[in-house]
Amino acid sequence: MRYNPKLAEIVNREVELEGRAGARKKNRKAEPPKIAAPANSQEGYIFVPSLGMDIAKKRTLQGIDFYEQTKSAHAQSQRICTINEFREFVNYLRNGYSDRQEAQQILDEIYKVEGNWRAENLDARFEKVKKDLFVNYHKFDDNGDITPVRERVAPCLMENKTPGISLDDWLANATPQGLPLENVNSGDLYYWAPVNEAVARFDADSVRANLSCNGSPTDVGSSLGVRLVGRKKI
């Protein structure tokens, strides 16, 4: 069989996830890593006017699974970016953030099709109850406290597109929960529809960029982090 470098890269990525998952089980009692910048600090964050909140410039909390990422973020009065907040953050970088050079660097890290695998879990865990699919996530209440939210998934694209959907169309038009519309335009962004007991994730590598709503919440990887959200500004 002829050597295929792109196929080899994908296989290596899957092996890394499996290896990290095994390491996680052995070290489950280890204390979660600390986050460098506190929620009330502007360092390392970008204020997104449409959200009224600070969004982290970089992914953090790699090497632990989604549940541990969530727990560690909440312990420090922060939470993981939801799908819709991720969209707003990307839109602001593309169209509003004043430091254009930094904006492009962050965008390239998020979705440019090149280099090694970069991935981030988003705060959206899907759960099927009888015939209905729900999404679980968190928000800040009026007092700035983190509170859980459980909603029935609004009508959205419920079939996989590989390839793909239009990144531009998804960023411009989405459901209130941030998912692609049923009539989203075609494009190069690979999309996996929500399934039971899965979490949303955005990732990119040298092959493609993906919006996946079928990720395992127990996946662990050195490149699989989260983007944190600071308290809403009053």
Residue pair 105/62 in contact by the 8 Å Cβ criterion:
no
Strand order in the sheet with 53-56: 45-48, 53-56, 228-229, 79-80
Q: Does 131 map to a domain?
A: yes
SS3 15: helix
Q: Does 88 map to a domain?
A: yes
Rounded mean pLDDT of 215-222? 96
53-112 residue pLDDT tens: 999 999 999 999 999 999 999 999 999 999 999 999 999 999 999 999 999 999 999 999
Per-residue pLDDT, 9: 54
Q: Does 2 map to a domain?
A: no
Angle at 180 between CA 137 and CA 162, to 5 degrees: 110
Q: Does 191 map to a domain?
A: yes
Strands (E), 52-157: 53-56, 79-80, 118-129, 132-140, 146-152
Residue pair 200/215 in contact by the 8 Å Cβ criterion:
yes
Domain count, the chain: 1
Alpha-carbon distances of 23 from 18, 29, 60, 221, rounded to whole Å: 9, 12, 18, 10
pTM of the model: 0.82
Q: Which domain holds residue 157?
A: 15-229
Strands (E), 63-117: 79-80
Write down the mean pLDDT value for the chain. Answer: 87
Does an H or E element contain 161, and which?
strand 161-165
Quick count: other Cβ atoms within 10 Å of Cβ 232? 14
Q: Does 1 map to a domain?
A: no
Q: Does 4 map to a domain?
A: no
Q: Does 163 map to a domain?
A: yes
Q: Does 10 map to a domain?
A: no
